[in-house]
Amino acid sequence: MLALKVTPRLRAALTILASLLVSTSLSGCFNAGPRFQAPLTLANPNERHPIQIEPSERTLDLDIYGGRGLSPSQRAELRSYLRAYAKNGSRLMVRAPSGGNDDKGSMRAFEDMRLTLRQAGIDSETVVLETYYVKPGQPAPLRLSYLQYVAKAPDCPDWSENVGRDPQNEPWPNMGCATQRNLAVAVADPRDLIGPRAQTPRSSERRDIVWDKYLKGDTVTGAVWGPGQTPLSEHATASDVGKVGGQ
């Protein structure tokens, strides 16, 4: 029998050949499905089941009856509409009729609307005012509209796979879909799903006092007080602070 000397180069070649044979035999008995071939990033529910944020127009028509202006029920409806606008809306537009049979009533309703805007704390400079022409005899309501964002929840229709047995150990089609759908339905302001809100102005009352003491240099800026309501030194140790808190 001929003895074969195994050199390092031959050992590497045999290793490559063995791995090729194993992969070829496995490919003959393993049939990878489309879900196995999907990118690993689809395991993220935000990418697999995205929530669509779309702008939508919300309108309100206030009918004008004679020269009485807006009725109490219309004013209540308008206040509710403006509260929703102040919370989630942008670009409020008011369209007043012109050329109808009741210009006096239209002006009275328009003034009532402006008064309600001021009472709601909405600056008239941010409101777009327009007029639209109507023919005599046609209904001419006072029309308000603004844009708001709406979250469209994803559908979760595919429950065909048995999640109790998955040799591929891959995410199933509906993984995370219910969570995404619940989030889209429950979110108060869909704009929060687009990006963070701008920071609100800081509360500067206490900060201004401490900063003024720091600039003077002769007053302790610490807020921890010792016995007799005297301020502790700024170089006080943790044990000193603990004694004060234990009293």
Q: Give the per-residue pLDDT at 185.
A: 92
Contacts with 50 (C-beta within 8 Å, 6 or more apart), sequence order: 154, 180
Kindly tell me the burial class for residue 138, based on how many C-beta atoms sit within 10 Å of its own C-beta (0-12, 13-18, 19 or more). Answer: exposed
Domains of the chain: which residue ranges?
A: 55-152
Q: Give the per-residue pLDDT at 93.
A: 92
Q: Give the per-residue pLDDT at 229.
A: 63
Report the interhelical angle of 72-88 vs 103-119 (nearest 10°): 50
Q: Give the per-residue pLDDT at 132.
A: 85
Q: Which residue spans within 48-203 are E strands per DSSP?
A: 52-62, 89-98, 128-133, 142-152
User: Rounded to the nearest 10 degrees, how much is the dihedral formed by the CA atoms of 229, 230, 236, 239?
Assistant: -30
Q: Give the per-residue pLDDT at 59.
A: 92
**Beta pairing partners, 148:** 56, 89
Please state, in angstroms and rounded to a whole number, the distance separating the CA atoms of residues 123 and 119.
10
Is this model's pTM higher than 0.75 or not?
no
Q: Give the per-residue pLDDT at 30.
A: 39
Cα maximum dimension of the chain: 118
- In this predicted model, what pLDDT tens digit does every residue of 37-94 receive, in sequence order? 444 446 788 888 899 998 889 999 988 876 678 888 999 999 999 998 988 888 899 9
Q: What is the full per-residue pLDDT of the chain (247 aa) written as tens digits?
A: 445 555 666 565 556 555 555 444 444 443 444 444 444 446 788 888 899 998 889 999 988 876 678 888 999 999 999 998 988 888 899 988 877 666 777 888 888 888 998 898 888 788 888 888 887 777 788 899 998 899 999 988 877 777 788 787 777 778 888 999 999 999 988 888 888 888 888 777 888 888 888 888 877 676 556 666 666 666 656 565 555 555 5
Q: Give the per-residue pLDDT at 23.
A: 46
CA 160 to chain CA mean position, Å: 32
Q: Give the per-residue pLDDT at 81.
A: 93
Contact yes or no for 153/184 (Cβ under 8 A): yes
Kindly tell me the burial class for residue 240, based on how many C-beta atoms sit within 10 Å of its own C-beta (0-12, 13-18, 19 or more). Answer: middle
The one-letter amino acid code at 169 reads N
Bridging pattern class, strands 142-152 and 89-98: antiparallel
CATH class of 55-152: alpha beta
Please state, in angstroms and rounded to a whole number, the distance separating the CA atoms of residues 194 and 198.
12
Please state, in angstroms and rounded to a whole number, the distance separating the CA atoms of residues 221 and 237.
16
Q: Give the per-residue pLDDT at 223.
A: 58
Contact yes or no for 197/88 (Cβ under 8 A): no
